[in-house]
């Protein structure tokens, strides 16, 4: 597709349930990022994938959060045993090449997660 | 560690008036600087970026920003506001080198309202 695609656009879940959020990056982009946007914390970096390199998971807030990227393309962010504080918009971005600040990060519309 | 401060969480201007959104950064070395815009229920769109060279950077939709190293600032301006400029604006920085130069650190955002 033309841009970064995320699904679902909205997700409502009950506390304690697991959720999976999907990101389809722009075709040909080798770098993929996940960010979280919440009212209290603003926009926070979560995780970064580049090609076959080990991902940078330094932004994941707890071990309930994990992410994978299959075949160097689609990525899934999984949140286990969701808590109310996980409610946020989860944004995915991709960029053209290896990690360089000059590479523009293109963002998807996000998945709005609500934990009841 | 890098940080970004956006002065004013909400700015209101009249249509046709000057838009000025303030951004100051804290970094041990001058970083790369970005302004992103977010329209309701959409992802982030890059307005402009500063990496090297000319300190006055022009972006899309008539916006521009000037990097002032002495003031550690990167304020966003537009001479004449249009109703369609109403959105949330985020200033962001990333490092020029090192292991995490791909991470964007965002400010808290400034919501711009344009009054008719």
Cβ <8 Å between B102 and A48: yes
Q: Give B46's contacts in chain A (Cβ within 8 Å).
A: 104-106
- Residue B35 distance to chain A (closest CA, Å): 11
Q: Give B104's contacts in chain A (Cβ within 8 Å).
A: 33, 35, 43, 45, 105
How much is the pLDDT for A17? 97
Q: Give B109's contacts in chain A (Cβ within 8 Å).
A: 42-43
Cβ <8 Å between A101 and B102: yes
Interval B82-88 mean pLDDT: 96
Asked whether residue A101 carries a pLDDT value surpassing 70, the answer given is no
How much is the pLDDT for A44? 92
pLDDT tens for residues B10-63? Answer: 999 999 999 999 999 987 777 889 999 999 888 899 999 998 888 999 999 999
The residue among B96, B113, B107 whose CA lies nearest residue B74 is B107
The residue among B14, B11, B26, B5 whose CA lies nearest residue B110 is B11
Confidence of residue B96 (pLDDT cuts 50, 70, 90): low
Of chain B, the percentage scoring pLDDT greater than 90 comes to 71
Asked whether residue A16 carries a pLDDT value surpassing 90, the answer given is yes
pLDDT tens for residues A49-80? Answer: 988 888 999 999 999 999 999 887 999 999 99
Asked whether residue A1 carries a pLDDT value surpassing 60, the answer given is no
Asked whether residue B98 carries a pLDDT value surpassing 80, the answer given is no
Cβ <8 Å between B51 and A45: no
- Nearest chain B residue to A39 by CA distance is B108
Confidence of residue A2 (pLDDT cuts 50, 70, 90): confident
- Residue A57 distance to chain B (closest CA, Å): 11
Return mean pLDDT, chain A: 91
- Nearest chain B residue to A90 by CA distance is B43
E-assigned strand segments in chain A: 5-7, 10-13, 19-24, 31-38, 42-50, 65-69, 75-79, 88-95, 106-107, 111-115
Cα A2 to Cα A55, A98, A108, B21: the distances in Å are 25, 20, 11, 30
- For A56, which DSSP code? B
B101 touching chain A per CB within 8 A: yes
């Amino acid at each position: 597709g033309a841009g970064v695609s995320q699904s679902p656009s909205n997700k409502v879940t009950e506390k304690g349930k697991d959720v999976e959020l999907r990101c389809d990056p722009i075709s040909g982009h080798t770098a993929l990022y996940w960010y979280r946007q919440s009212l209290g914390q603003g926009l926070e970096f979560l995780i970064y994938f580049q090609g076959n390199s080990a991902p940078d998971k330094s932004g994941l807030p707890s071990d309930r959060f994990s992410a994978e990227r299959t075949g160097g393309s689609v990525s899934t962010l999984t949140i286990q045993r969701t808590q109310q504080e996980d409610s946020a918009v989860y944004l995915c971005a991709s960029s053209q090449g290896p990690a360089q600040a000059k590479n523009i990060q293109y963002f998807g519309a996000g998945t709005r997660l609500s934990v009841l | 560690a890098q940080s970004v401060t956006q002065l004013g969480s909400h700015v209101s201007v009249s249509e046709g008036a000057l838009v000025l959104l303030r951004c100051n950064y804290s970094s041990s070395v001058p970083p790369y600087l970005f302004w992103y815009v977010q329209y309701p229920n959409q992802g982030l769109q890059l307005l402009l970026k500063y990496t090297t060279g000319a300190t006055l950077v022009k972006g899309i939709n008539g916006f521009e920003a000037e990097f002032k190293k002495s003031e550690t600032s990167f304020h966003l301006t537009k001479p004449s506001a249009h109703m369609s400029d109403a959105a949330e604006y985020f200033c962001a920085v990333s490092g020029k080198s090192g292991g995490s130069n791909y991470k964007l650190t965002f400010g808290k955002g400034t919501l711009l309202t344009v009054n008719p």
